[in-house]
A and B are shown apart, each in its own frame.
Chain A
Amino acid sequence: QVQLQESGPGLVKPSQTLSLTCTVSGGSISSGSYYWSWIRQPAGKGLEWIGRIHTSGSTNYNPSLKSRVTISTDTSKNQFSLRLSSVTDADMAVYYCARSVRPGGYDWFVDSWGQGTLVTVSS
């Protein structure tokens, strides 16, 4: 059973860069065919997909965030990371890391989630 755990600063100043890491246990992020994703949820709002990185290294980002987002992997540590630059109040949210799979005949879906980490944007 794969497990994911987010880590990183819970407080980021406006205009600075938010950096979070997701540590994966119970499976290798570099084997198989998976997408490793970041999803967030601002208080009182719905879930928002931020972006994803495939086992092969290819990435996809939410167009609304694309100019500020970078997702990367560190296979030596079995981790993947999120960097979101120039943060504002609108970036304050609970950030989840997640793994998605695509069984034969179906589209990708998330089968494992981290517990989530709250990021506050404040000076």
Chain B
Amino acid sequence: QSVLTQPPSVSGAPGQRVTISCTGSSSNIGAGYDVNWYQRLPGTAPKLLIYGNNNRPSGVPDRFSGSKSGTSASLAITGLQAEDEADYYCQSYDSSLSGWVFGGGTKLTVL
């Protein structure tokens, strides 16, 4: 069981908006540590999508955005496209474990 909790799956039609939640605790997200998001397209390695809660690396479309509040974070994807179909993972640091923790991953299906 992952330290950070994500829904196993979400879905949406092209053009719609979806959000993926990431719930932690007072020793990770709630302690103020950054949340980062990674996208893993089928058959490929994960790729950085959002860092520092709400920052996009160059090349990531502004359709992707991140937010954080309390012990949770969210990834929002607007204007859903077929190529967004992938697995998404949140990641943070946990002070009680003195290391990184990941969410279990969320599979996004574009209907």
Contacts and interface: CB of A to CB of B under 8 A. Distances in A.
Interface residues of B, number: 27
Given A62-B99, A106-B51, A46 B36 contact: no
Contacts of A60: 98-99
A113 B39 CA distance: 12
B24 interface: no
A47 B102 contact: yes
Interface in A88-115: 96, 103, 105-111, 113-115
Contacts, number: 68
A18 B107 CA distance: 30
Q: In which size bucket is the chain A interface?
A: 20 to 34
B102 A46 contact: yes
Given A105-B52, A106-B34, A111-B57, A63 B99 contact: yes
Contacts of A107: 33-34, 36, 52, 92-93
Interface of B: 2, 33-34, 36, 38, 44-48, 51-52, 55, 57, 89, 91-93, 97-105
